[in-house]
Amino acid sequence: MQLESLHPLDGRWPNDKVLTKRQPNLRDALKILETPAGHSAYEDNLSFDKQDQSVIMAFATQNNFTYSPRADVNPEQYGSKLPAWLGLQTMATQPVCVHQVSGELYGYAITFFLTYTPSSVQRNTRVSPGIEATDLVRKSIIQVKLPKVFPQMVLDSNKNDKSHTSTIPATFKNSQKLQLEGNFADYFDFYAPQNLQVNTLTVLAPNFMQLVMESAATFDVEFYGDELILITREPIYTPSAMALTLEALEAELQYLTTLMPSWNYQPLREPFDLLEKDYFDGTVTKIGRWRIKPGVMVLLLLLGFVAFACLILAIK
């Protein structure tokens, strides 16, 4: 694959911006409530950097791929059972999916795209009088179409959670966590549905796991029916990140190609088995080996408020 055209984006994300009014009126505020299901409230406020967009278009053309400014991903296509990489969404947190590059690689249909989600903690930048750029959480997504169906499985990397929160905005029941061999257990949490008649640990190539474990840029991985999804917080449209992605994809897809003839998974629940999520679903906070789930975080906050109230009463 030719990567030379990506050099202008080396080490950075496209300079796209979500522009909003510094002091929105009531109509602007109500727009969030009027946004159709499955769409981001910030969809119409996205401003593409034309020069960076042309870089990604050139990369797609150079490698006989197709390019689209908007990704054809809609949460409604998944019904009520969203994949983990999308997680529980509201109109205000629904990502804008952009810069889609699609084609065939290693014998599989593959799609690259970026997601932009407004940050929960806003540090907006003034662009012009009355207009500011919204602080964004950016991720890169790689989707691969598989010839057979797999249960939902998630490989959650602990190495790439630089902000101490999981890249995957979903919380799974601990009973579904499988023990990985050797050093892999220090770097990954692997979840698969219980009571399946297939060995779900066999879906991950050892050399793929080793590569992801040792690399500077790392990935979370999700199997979801006939999709394989890689998720990273690295800007995928850079020469270094794309080179690593291609190396990782080659290792895993070659392995899956040899696995396919013997893969005889029969779902317990059609069309495929899903992971069970905790009652309080959402992003996990990670501190070393500790995993603080949303439900526990809510409890800790409540206890903190109670302790603070007791302290105030004691002072009085």
Q: Do 273 and 299 fall into the same domain?
A: no
- Contact between 160 and 219 under an 8 Å Cβ cutoff? The reply is yes
C-alpha distance from residue 302 to each of 121, 262, 305, 306 (Å): 21, 51, 5, 6
pLDDT at 1: 87
pLDDT at 253: 97
Q: Do 305 and 207 fall into the same domain?
A: no
pLDDT of the chain, 316 residues: tens digit per residue: 899 999 999 999 999 998 776 665 556 555 655 555 556 767 888 999 999 999 999 999 999 999 999 998 877 778 778 899 987 766 667 889 999 999 999 999 999 999 998 776 566 666 667 777 788 889 999 999 999 999 999 998 876 444 456 678 778 888 999 999 888 988 888 999 999 989 999 999 999 999 988 876 678 999 999 999 999 999 999 999 999 999 999 999 999 999 999 999 999 999 999 999 875 455 555 555 555 555 554 454 555 655 656 667 667 6
Alpha-carbon span 63 to 65, nearest angstrom: 5
C-alpha distance from residue 250 to each of 4, 146, 214, 243, 291 (Å): 20, 14, 16, 11, 32
Q: Do 126 and 179 fall into the same domain?
A: yes
- Contact between 127 and 133 under an 8 Å Cβ cutoff? The reply is yes
pLDDT at 25: 55
Q: Do 134 and 40 fall into the same domain?
A: yes
Instruction: Write out the two tokens for 145.
Output: 């179409």
State the amino acid at position 95 in one-letter form: P
- CA triplet 85, 210, 114: central angle to 5 degrees? 30
Instruction: Write out the two tokens for 293.
Output: 């789930």
- Contact between 18 and 45 under an 8 Å Cβ cutoff? The reply is yes
Condensed to tens digits (0 to 9), the pLDDT of residues 166-190 reads 678 778 888 999 999 888 988 888 9
Name residue, tokens 């029969």: 266
Q: Do 12 and 138 fall into the same domain?
A: yes
Q: Do 45 and 152 fall into the same domain?
A: yes
Closest CA to 257 of 126, 146, 119, 117: 146
pLDDT at 91: 62
Task: Provide the CA 307 distance to its chain's centre, in angstroms.
Answer: 36
Name residue, tokens 């994809």: 249
Q: Do 200 and 308 fall into the same domain?
A: no
Instruction: Write out the two tokens for 309.
Output: 């109230």
Report how many domains make up the chain: 2
Residue-range definition of the domain harbouring residue 311: 285-316
Q: Do 196 and 68 fall into the same domain?
A: yes
Q: Do 154 and 223 fall into the same domain?
A: yes
Q: Do 203 and 314 fall into the same domain?
A: no
Mark 154-173 as b/e (b = at least 16 C-beta within 10 Å): bbbbbbbbeeebbbbbbbbe
Neighbour count for residue 180 (Cβ, 10 Å): 17
pTM of the entire predicted model:
0.84
Q: Do 184 and 310 fall into the same domain?
A: no
Q: Do 276 and 294 fall into the same domain?
A: no
DSSP state of 9: G
